[in-house]
């Protein structure tokens, strides 16, 4: 199965690229959540608010792709939402157990 998407003027966006690009925000989110858990009360709720704000700011990036069709921009926005929900959900679930 071929999962690459070609971005006009920039080449393919591969599954491995999406995973690696999602890893850095996940790592930064984990570090932020750890710090918040140590120094703040209500860290899960506060982290979810911060994550939502970061998600909204991340929506700007897909609109910077030159000549990107609307369907591609919508798909990229949905990928941002899926990654944010997955990362935030995993971190806050593990945070509750710890």
Give this prediction's pTM.
Answer: 0.80
**3-state per-residue secondary structure call for 29-40:** HHHHHHHHHHHC
Neighbours of 5 (CB within 10 A): 14
The domain locations on the chain are 5-97
Residue 79 CB-density burial (10 A; 0-12 exposed, 13-18 middle, 19+ buried): middle
Tens digit of each residue's pLDDT, the chain (98 residues): 555 566 666 667 777 877 888 899 999 999 999 999 999 888 999 999 999 999 999 999 999 988 888 988 898 899 999 999 999 999 999 887 76
Residue 61 corresponds to which tokens in the numbers above?
């990036």
């Amino acid at each position: 199965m071929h999962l690459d998407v070609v971005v006009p003027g920039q080449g393919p966006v591969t599954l491995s690229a999406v995973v690696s690009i999602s890893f850095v925000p996940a790592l930064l989110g984990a570090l932020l959540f750890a710090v918040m858990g140590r120094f703040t009360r209500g860290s899960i709720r506060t982290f979810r608010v911060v994550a939502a704000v970061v998600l909204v700011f991340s929506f700007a990036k897909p609109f910077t792709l030159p000549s990107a069709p609307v369907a591609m921009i919508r798909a990229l926005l949905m990928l941002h939402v899926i990654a944010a929900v997955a990362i935030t959900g995993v971190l806050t679930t593990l945070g509750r157990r710890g």
